[in-house]
Structure 1
Amino acid sequence: MGARKKISADRRKEARKTMYFAKMNNVPTSPRKMRYVADMIRGMEVNKALGVLKFSSKEAAQRVEKLLRSAIANWEQKNERKAETGELYVTKIFVDGGAMLKRMRPAPQGRAYRIRKRSNHVTLFVDSKNTNEDQN
């Protein structure tokens, strides 16, 4: 690895130590459906977001709720204290497309239609409100 790349890699690694996130890979839901759920909680306070996800009728909401609880636990682990009400917020959440399973469905006159079973990767960042104000 070159010197410039090593310096930038070290800088990224140091910045990552102050970020609190959770990541879920290869979720067997289409990215479009998952983005709808992600848009519901983006920027929300954590306890309110958990309530929204708990009572949402979307199937993807259960998976995002589990991911959010994991991100909260990661924050608590790194800060060595419990999160208080109104302290943590969902700062960023994004959904990327994952691997696609390609299947064939029989069609009329000896043809076949392709079915694409999509998956996605979800990354969720949480942070406290006062940390965000210090940076700005």
Structure 2
Amino acid sequence: MEAVAKLRNYPTSPRKMRLLADLIRGKKVEQALAELEFNPKHPAVPMRKLVLSAISNWKQKNEGGDESQLFVKTIFVDGARTLKRMRPAPQGRGYRVRKRSNHVTVIVDAKP
């Protein structure tokens, strides 16, 4: 039985978060946690917490289940709200700055 964890409105661009999601997709949970722990990218910390949360959710659903067989079944990153700001530009103009954020969904499951 699978378990889901979601991270909503995290303030980094979806493109940067997808780089981390592609790293751990389909891997065993222990290996995914190890890769995220030593990754220098700043969204690796909340992504690691999200995977730990998914593991915890799986434990609550499956009392006495074997945790060593868990793997990241699905992970996807969607765009969330975008804050629009203005930055001063030459000759009295203004450049638009789009501060992006994202939603991440992780699904873990045990191999049969």
TM-score (norm 1): 0.80
Partner of 2:63 in structure 1?
80
Partner of 1:13 in structure 2?
none
Greater relative CO (CA pairs within 8 A, separation 6+): 2
Q: Would you tell me which structure has more helix in proportion to its own residues? A: 1
Q: Would you tell me which structure has more strand in proportion to its own residues? A: 2
Contact 1:76 1:83 in 2 (8 A): no
Q: Determine whether 1:38 maps to 2:21.
A: yes
Partner of 1:26 in structure 2?
9
Unaligned runs of 5+ in 1: 1-17, 131-136
Pair member with larger Rg: 1
Aligned length: 112
Q: Determine whether 1:95 maps to 2:86.
A: no
Q: Determine whether 1:111 maps to 2:93.
A: yes
CA RMSD in angstroms, aligned pairs only? 1.0
Unaligned runs of 5+ in 2: none
In the TM superposition, what is the alpha-carbon distance from 1:94 to its structure 2 partner?
0.1
TM-score (norm 2): 0.96
1:23 partner letter: K
Contact 2:67 2:110 in 1 (8 A): no
Quick one: distance in 1 between partners of 2:2 and 2:48? Answer: 19
